[in-house]
Chains A and B, each alone.
Chain A
């Protein structure tokens, strides 16, 4: 096994349970609050922090720049890259640029469709799909790009990057076999770690993990903090492959006013506790409630930086 290129890789490859957090850049240039939240609630508590890439196709401050700023703050980033907005020229170029800016963890994602966001009339790209993007990263690491020279030989790179390559999966999709087949392809293409879509049903996750036992890369269970009953209802209604069970819905319904963060923290911590022995890490998506992250980690009985 080659030398780890990031703490996230080192932690997961050492067999330690790793926790990652996530921040979403703002719409505008006011990036300081997001960085402050990361400093305050994630730094030193998680191994790395994902930065979403024009999340849900809503135009905003960029993932790469935010990742770089996190590095300046002493926080290891996970650079999320979607296939929606860039062709293979731009994707490869951005990968080189990201490497140049010190970014080592890359998460390759298809990306929500343009029509889901706030610029529905824009032209969706999807030149590569998520498997193709993982392949592209692997290709760059081998010292060539996706193009060819005049003689038809792969173009050689002047300076070769090395990343820790991630991909995603939806464990609770209503039809899980296609998800697993695609996951196998992502791993075959070179994915080294997996972060999942939100899971609220430990039993369903256990079933999923049994079905992917043959997949030899660490899987980090996705936890999206439930900010209230309305959000949970929205997730059940509109987010594919996410099911919030009745018991959790009831707890949210019974939550007294002003207790939302406490309950959200408790639910998330319980989920992590229930699933931590099934997988290799947890990815906490706090959606702005970043101050819940330390509580979740503590109540789940974890040292987020590997235990």
Chain B
């Protein structure tokens, strides 16, 4: 899932400061699951903004809405509020959601209420962690299902560097060394030979090296064109 973290409140207030009528739209997808961008968080944020506006004596009205996903056309019709009736919309979806909605409503400023952080999952209560970089060339088959591209701070592909220490990364003692985890898992499975193979330099074109990436399902495109 996509994990996003709410922007600092001061930054949000600064972003909406030019506007008098603001709509906050939550997203029922990933960011609801990570408890930062759903309906409940939209309500809470609206209350905080109203309170701050009152304290500062600002002329600001805030409304709230939420749809199942802000990244798909079919859900946009479920909006109860009309974004065009507002000076600005504060979307607490991920960056894809903010952009999708901006394309649907090009005349209305859609402001990001979240910082989209990473692809990951819930590790323990209250903690989400990055697990996938979306590098476009998955290596999990030979790394014991642990991604070194996302989870090694250097995205190394041939094993741990000298910064590995007691299973942790040199960047932080709170960060697992992905290659240590990979080593342990492959050893337990009797598959250390996977670690012994030299892995060729990664093709970063499939990551971000060649600009914007697309998924094209050719058959579907052709079917659509044929009408």
A binds B: yes
B164 within 8 A of A: yes
**Is A130 on the interface with B (CB-CB < 8 A)?**
yes
The interface bits of chain B over 143-186 (1 if a CB of A lies within 8 angstroms of the residue's CB, else 0) are 00000000001111111111111110011000000011001000
Determine if A128 is an interface residue (Cβ-Cβ < 8 Å).
Answer: yes
Question: B163 contacts A112, CB within 8 Å?
Answer: yes
Would B179 and A178 count as touching, CB distance under 8 A?
Answer: yes
Check if A170 is an interface residue, CB within 8 A of chain B: yes
Give complex CA distance A136, B156 in Å: 15
Asked whether A181 lies within 8 Å of B162 as measured between CB atoms, the reply is no
Across-interface contacts of A136 in B (CB, < 8 A)? 201
Is residue B195 contacting chain A, with contact meaning CB distance below 8 A? yes
Knowing A113-B153, A135-B201, the reply to whether A240 touches B165 (Cβ < 8 A) is yes
> How many angstroms between the C-alpha atoms of A188 and B204 in the bound complex?
24
- Interface membership of B192, Cβ < 8 A: yes
Q: Which A81-133 residues have a C-beta within 8 angstroms of B?
A: 83-84, 88, 110, 112-113, 115-116, 124, 126-132
Please determine whether B170 and A240 come into contact, CB atoms closer than 8 angstroms. Answer: yes
CB distance from B179 to the nearest CB of A (A): 6
Among B154, B160, B167, point to the contact of A179 (Cβ < 8 A).
B160
Residue B196 CB within 8 A of the other chain: yes
Q: Is the CB of A181 within 8 A of B195?
A: yes
**Closest chain B residue, CB of each to CB of A129:** B156
- Which of B158, B160, B198 gathers the greatest number of chain A CB atoms within 10 Å? B158
> In whole Å, how far is A205's beta carbon from the nearest beta carbon of chain B?
15
The answer, among A112, A132, A174, A181, for a CB contact under 8 Å with B170, is A112
Q: In the complex, which range does the number of interface residues on chain A fall in? A: 35 or more
Distance to closest chain A CB from B160 (angstroms): 5
Interface presence of A184 (CB below 8 A): yes
B38 → A minimal CB distance (Å): 31
With contact pairs A127-B204, A241-B162 given, residues A113 and B196 touching in the complex (Cβ less than 8 Å): no
Complex Cα distance, B200 from A188, in Å, reads 13
Contact residues in B for A174 (Cβ distance below 8 Å): 165-166
| Given known A116-B171, A124-B154, A177-B183, contact A130–B201 (CB-CB < 8 A) | no
Known contacts A116-B171, A178-B180, A240-B162: does B154 contact A110 (CB below 8 Å)? yes
Q: Judging by beta carbons under 8 Å apart, are B155 and A185 in contact?
A: no
Return the CB mask of B66-102 against A: 1 if under 8 Å, else 0: 0000000000000000000000000000000000000
User: A129-B156, A132-B158, A146-B201 known; A178 and B164 CB under 8 Å?
Assistant: yes
> A168: CB under 8 A from chain B?
yes
Of B153, B187, B198, the residue contacting A131 (CB under 8 A) is B198
Within 8 A of B (CB), among A150-202: 168-170, 173-175, 177-179, 181-182, 184-185, 188-189, 197
Known: A110-B162, A182-B160. A126 touches B198 (CB 8 A): no
Tell me, in angstroms, the Cα distance from A173 to B183 when the chains sit together: 14
* A181 close to B204 (CB less than 8 A): no
Q: What's the nearest-Cβ distance from chain A to residue B203, in Å?
A: 11
Contact between A185 and B162, CB atoms less than 8 A apart: no
Give Cα A258 to B156, complex, Å.
Answer: 44
Check if A178 sits within 8 Å of B159, measured CB to CB.
yes
Complex Cα–Cα for A177 and B184 (A): 10
Docked CA distance A175–B202 (Å):
26
Q: With A240-B163, A240-B170 in contact, is A110–B156 under 8 Å at CB?
A: yes
Q: Which residues of A contact B202 (CB under 8 A)?
A: 127
A124-B187 Cα distance, complex, nearest whole Å: 30
A185 to B201, CA, bound (A): 13
With contact pairs A113-B170, A178-B159, A241-B165 given, residues A188 and B154 touching in the complex (Cβ less than 8 Å): no
Tell me if B166 and A113 are in contact (CB < 8 A): no
Residues of B within 8 A of A84 (CB): 154
Contacts of B179 in A (CB 8 A): 178
Q: Which residues of A contact B157 (CB under 8 A)?
A: 129, 132
Residues of A within 8 A of B164 (CB): 173, 175, 178, 240-241
Q: Name the residue on A nearest B196 (C-beta).
A: A181
Residue contact A185 to B196, C-beta cutoff 8 Å = yes
Query: What are the 7 tightest A-B residue pairs by CB atom distance, in nearest-first order?
Result: A240-B165, A131-B158, A110-B161, A182-B159, A129-B156, A126-B154, A170-B162
Q: List 15 A-B contacts (CB under 8 A).
A: A83-B154, A110-B161, A115-B171, A128-B201, A129-B161, A131-B158, A132-B200, A135-B198, A135-B201, A169-B162, A173-B162, A178-B160, A179-B162, A181-B196, A185-B159
* Known A132-B158, A175-B164, A175-B180; 10 more pairs at CB < 8 Å: A110-B162, A113-B171, A128-B201, A173-B165, A181-B195, A182-B159, A182-B160, A185-B158, A185-B196, A240-B164
Instruction: List A residues at the B interface (Cβ < 8 Å).
Output: 83-84, 88, 110, 112-113, 115-116, 124, 126-132, 135-136, 146, 168-170, 173-175, 177-179, 181-182, 184-185, 188-189, 197, 240-241
Mark B residues whose CB is within 8 Å of A.
Answer: 153-167, 170-171, 179-180, 183, 187, 192, 195-196, 198-202, 204
